[in-house]
Each structure stands twice: as structure tokens, then as C-alpha cells.
A and B are shown apart, each in its own frame.
Chain A
Amino acid sequence: MDGTPKLNCWEARGCGRGPDSPDPCQAATDVASDGVNDGVCAGRICWTVPRTGCLGEPQGSFVDKLDTCLICDFFERVKAEQGDDFRLLKLGQGVSDAPELHATIARIESFLRIPEDLHAQFDLRRLLGRITDQAQRTVSAERSVVFLVEGDPPVLRGEMLRAGERVPIEIPLAETSAVGCAALRNRPVNVRDPYGTGTNPGDTVAFNTAFDAQCGVQTRSLLAVPIHGSDGRPIGVITAANSERGEFGADDQWFMEQYALQAGLAVEKAGLLADSALAGRLATFGEALSGLSHSLRGITHALNGLAYIIRQAVRAGRTQDVEAACQILDRQVQRIVRLSRAVSEYESHRGGPERGELNEVVADVVRTLADEASARAVVLQSELDSSLAAGECERVLLYRCLLNLLADVLQSSPATGGRVVVRTRKGDKEEAVVEVLADGWGPHLELASGAPSWRDGCQAHATERIGLPTAQHLLRALGGRLEADSGPGPQAAYRLHLPVHRSDDEHAVPVGVEPVPPLDGGAVGVEGQLASREGRDEHQQG
């Protein structure tokens, strides 16, 4: 954001009701908020000010306007511009202490975004890089290294960046170092003054200065937290270290431990998927599982509860409860069977692209997501143009593309359900159009905030997330393009323009079908592929 002026709301909106105007807005007179989010008065935290004059109309109280403020493009803009320094609330808003609390809120918000990023990464090496970055950010450390237990006899191996190069580090799996202790004792080790004496109160862990010699630094504080596999055994250690900054506190340790739980699962999964062919085949499953998250949570929730009910009912001799629980159990099992059938039908095949009828694929995606939609109280419908019956395209890619798009659309549906319609129709020339009309939120916010999923410069992030960016990535591989029509608030429309082939054209090479580039970013430029409602976007980005 360097060079971009940070506007106050009256400047962004052009309402002319700044502090020097004859009729200043409430936000422009709130001197107590001066400087918050780098604004003048409450010009960059206006959502906390009651009775502001946004859009020419007096707004209500903080609570009244909260819903509209939190989806406002100016709110998103400030959030994007401030990054980690963003402050959502101000003093007096039910918050009574100093900036540390705001920092904690920001930290928690940013922390909540981590699992999705981690679990969408299938490549172990890239995942370890991601963990290193995120761990470092999570505790504001100067550096971080992730060690994995490897080899026979086992040692802790990691890599650290030194002068732009990756330097391998190896530490014995023994109690001769803080890192080794964290792995062997299976608990965090917080070394507060490694070169002092008696510096780690209540702990017998000694810092091994050979670690610094290996890394070419002098450590002043070190936090080493074990990462576990699903069986609870340590499979590695995440370290965060400082040379200039201070020691790590109890909060840092808590965040790192929570982070390590997610990291352990992601490492284990990536290890299982080390075979890239397997990773490719399982991409469909991964995306489907993510797209069906609500539904699967519901099923797991029911199974959990039913196991408990049956156990309790058997103990108490309540046979009627056992019977009723078993009936519900049967229905949950049927849900799982239906979902797994729907997904396994589209497991990626090893034999190259396979064509399928467009309408059939669309119907299958809608069928796959029917349970998810129902769990979200969303009505999901398809309206298929029968004149497209002979139109074909690469079925697995299209299935994955629609699955990702609809997963995003369902996630953005209002809590009171909503309606999503998937339509097919003929487009220009040899093209079909799949339209998705939803009454939830569209990509308007991403457009307004310049979020990476839709913009240049951050493609790596864009292509690794499950959802809309991945849909766009797959659509490009299909030779298609996406248009989105979305404004502030609910209502969104997406149009996928796809090249199709006639089913009787057996020898035709599928037009526009390219091998799917790896989901490693950099390959997909999305600029220019998105057409959006012009007037609104100009306003949003203003």
C-alpha cells in the first residue's frame, strides 16, 4: 500500500463532511479516536461511531449499523490497508483496556485464517515453508525453523534461510538441546535467556549453543513446541527464535501450541500424499471434503451424539432410545454412502482427460452438494438447457471447478438459508454457459479490498485456496473464462463460459483443454478474466 493515501471515510465517500466542514459528520468529530487505523478522528474506524451520515442518510447505533458496516467496502479497504495493525473496535466499545487487546483481537482473527491455508497445501516441502512463515508471524518472531523427526536412528532435520539460501540443520533427538527436549518430552520448551544461568525457571532444559553456531546467529530467546501426528506422538518441532526482540510469553506459547496442532495434521496429511500422482487423484476428494464441510460436520456431530445416546441408553435399559438412535444412525450412514458415491464417481483418472456431458456433470455436482446445501438451509436447484445434451467437456475438471465455485457460493449464503440456481445455456459459437445465481455475497469484497484471490501479485495464495480461486484456476485449464456480477450486499451471479464439443465428434481434440498446472501459483494470471458491474467497482475502489 506504499504511496497510496490512507483516506478517511469522508474522503473515500466524498460526502464533504470532514472535520473542517460547516456540518461535520459524527465520525469527523470523534477526536478520541484520532490516529486509530492511521485516520483523522474516527475517519478510519467509523463503524464504531453511532449516527454517522454514510451515504447521505443518518445511521443508527453501533449495533444497528454493525451488519451493514462489516460488509461495507470502506471497512474492507481499511482492513486491507492496515493488515496486522487493523483495529476493529475502539476504547469504550465494550473494550476497556489498551492497544494490547486490539492487537490480541487482530492476532486471533489472523490466527483463525491459518488452518484453511495449511490444509489446502498438499506438497510437504512447500507446506514446511508455509509453516515456518506462519509460525514466525504467529508469535512475531525474528526467525523460525520447522524440524521433522527423520532417519534411522531418528534425528531432527530442518532448514533455515541464511543469506537467501536454505541451510540444512540437524539436531540429535536427545536432551542435549532445547529442541531435542521439546520432542523427547513432548511438551513446549521456552528458553528465556539461553546464555545466562538459571534462566529457564522450573525447567532443566539447557540451550545448546551449537544450534547458534550452526545457524550463525546468537539467540536471545527460543520457543520450541512439538508437533504431533494423529496418534499423539511427536513428529517434529516448531521453533521460534529472537536475537534482538524479547522473550516469548505465555500467550505466545499458547498460540504456538494451537498452531502446532494444525501443523501436525497438515504435515501428516502431506506426508501421506507425497506421491504426486496420488495427490492429483485425491484433489477431487480434498475439494469435495472441503465443499461438504458443513454436511460432514453435521454427520460427525450426529454420530458423536448417537454413540453417546446408545451407550447411555443401554446402561439405563432405555430400549426405545436405543431403537430411535439406531434409526437416526441408519440415516446418517445413508448420507455418508450417498456422499462418498457422488464424490468417488469423479475421482481423477490416470488415463488423461475424459469427456462427459456438460448437463450431466452439472447435475452431478448439484447432487453432490445437495446435502451440504440442505445443512446450510440453502435451496440448491438446477435448470438445464436440454439443447446442450450433446455438449461435452472434460468431466473431472469441470466437476472440480463447479464444486469449488459452489462451495464458495454456499459458504457465502446468508444464515437464513438462501437460494442458489445453477443454469446451463448455449453461449456464442461453440460455447456453453453455466450460470450460478445466488442470493448470498459475491466476490464484491475481494474486488473492493484488492484481495489476493482476485488480483495480481499473490497468485500462489490464490491458487492454493479451496473455493473460488481454485475454480477459476480449473476453468482456465478448461479453456473457459469467468464473469462475476456482484455488488455490495447480497446477490451474486457467476457465468462460466466453456468451450464444448459435440458428443458425436469422437476424434476431436478437446479445444482449450490444457494439462492442469500444479496448484503452486505463479502460473495463473487472473487479471482481465473477471468482468464485474462497472459502476459499482469504480465506486468500491475509489
Chain B
Amino acid sequence: MSEAKLKILVVEDNADEAQMVKMILEPEGYEIALAVNGREGLEKAEADKPDLIVLDVMMPVLDGFAMCAKLREDPEFQKVPVILLTAVGAHIRDTKYPISGVLRAQAEEYLEKPVNPEELVATVARCLHR
């Protein structure tokens, strides 16, 4: 009997970038679900119970920081690893929101775009203890 695949939810509003992350991670043996904003991400997280979530930061409707913070409020998702994947790093120096966002979001990892695909694969594996 084959082992059940680990589920990863990718929340990214740019369709091409979401597809790309899917195409990088799927061949590694993960089952990938996509969502286009934080609100849809929360709904899919609730429905799919992913083992890990890859989150963009800047998204319409509900951003990655806010989605991550909401996930952490739910005991069911407090331990689910979250990887923030974003180009916002250019102004993380700015305390207007990124630092507060990172502190509050309690994400496991914070990868700055452009991300090295090997690094993404390795980070996902590390978070899932594979």
C-alpha cells in the first residue's frame, strides 16, 4: 500500500507563480492545492487540512501576514508549518508593517523572492521533517 501524500497549500495571487511553485513541489511527491488569496486560503486550509502552507505576503482580500495570524488563532493550525514566500523583503527594514507582520504571523520560514527552487524544496522538506 502506498503512503499517503503530504498535502501542501500554496496561497499566491499570481497564477503563474502559484503554478510554478506547484510544478516545483509536485514532483517531490507532495499533493498541492492552490488558493488565490488569504480568505480562500483559510477556506481551503479548513477543507483540505494541509500539512504545510506556502504563503505569499501581498495579496488582495486578505494578505499573507493576516492569514498566518488567523491560522495561529485556530488550535488546529497552530502547529502547521507556514513558509512566507515574498518579494516584500526589500523593505523589511521598514517597521510600518513587515516586522510586526513577521512577529505576529509566527511563520516558520521567510523566503525572499527570487527563491532558489532547491532551497524551497529543502525548506519544505525540513519543515515536514522529511
Contact = CB atoms under 8 A, between A and B. Distances in A.
Interface of A: 63, 66-67, 70-71, 79, 109, 112-113, 116, 293-294, 297-298, 300-306, 308-309, 312-313, 316, 318, 321, 324-325, 328, 331-332, 375-377, 411-412, 414-417, 441, 445
Contact of B115 (A63, A294, A304): A304
Contact of B96 (A304, A325, A412): A412
B116 A304 contact: yes
26 contacts: A63-B104, A66-B100, A66-B104, A67-B100, A70-B95, A71-B95, A71-B96, A109-B93, A116-B93, A297-B113, A297-B114, A300-B113, A302-B20, A304-B117, A309-B20, A313-B23, A325-B23, A375-B87, A377-B58, A377-B59, A411-B91, A414-B97, A415-B66, A416-B58, A416-B59, A416-B66
Contact of A415 (B14, B21, B88): B88
B58 A308 contact: no
Which secondary structure dominates where chain A touches chain B?
helix
Interface of B: 13-14, 16-17, 19-21, 23-24, 27, 38, 57-66, 87-88, 90-97, 99-101, 103-104, 112-118
Given A67-B97, A300-B113, 7 more contacts: A112-B92, A298-B113, A308-B117, A318-B27, A414-B63, A415-B64, A417-B59
Contacts of A312: 27
A305 B24 contact: yes
Contacts of B63: 377, 414-417
> Ordered nearest first, which 3 A-B pairs have the shortest CB separation?
A415-B63, A297-B87, A308-B117
B57 to A, nearest CB: 6
Which residue of B23, B57, B104, B115 has the most chain A CB atoms within 10 A of its CB atom? B23
Nearest to B112: A297
Nearest to B69: A63
Contact of A316 (B27, B96, B104, B116): B27
Nearest to B91: A411
A417 B88 CA distance: 12
A415 B116 CA distance: 23
A441 B96 contact: yes
Contacts of B103: 63, 66
A55 B66 CA distance: 25
A102 to B, nearest CB: 15
A300 B21 CA distance: 14
Contacts of A70: 95-97, 99-100
Contacts of A302: 16-17, 20
Nearest to B62: A416
A418 B53 CA distance: 24
Nearest to B93: A112
A128 B108 CA distance: 38
Nearest to B94: A411
A328 B19 contact: yes
Contact of B14 (A321, A375, A414, A416): A375
A71 B90 CA distance: 19
Nearest to B21: A305
Nearest to A378: B58
A309 B87 contact: no
B110 to A, nearest CB: 13
Contacts of A71: 95-97
A412 B114 CA distance: 21
A416 B112 CA distance: 18
Contacts of B66: 415-416
Contact of A331 (B16, B24, B101, B117): B16
Which residue of B63, B66, B97 has the most chain A CB atoms within 10 A of its CB atom? B97
A377 B16 contact: no
B95 A294 contact: no
A482 B97 CA distance: 26
Contacts of B61: 416-417
A304 B21 CA distance: 11
Contacts of B38: 416
Nearest to B38: A416
A9 B67 CA distance: 32
A107 to B, nearest CB: 13
A294 B63 CA distance: 16
Contact of B60 (A309, A328, A417): A417
Nearest to B26: A321
Contacts of B95: 70-71, 79
Contacts of B114: 297, 300-301, 303-304
A455 to B, nearest CB: 18
A416 B94 CA distance: 16
Given A66-B100, A298-B17, A416-B66, A305 B91 contact: no
A464 to B, nearest CB: 16
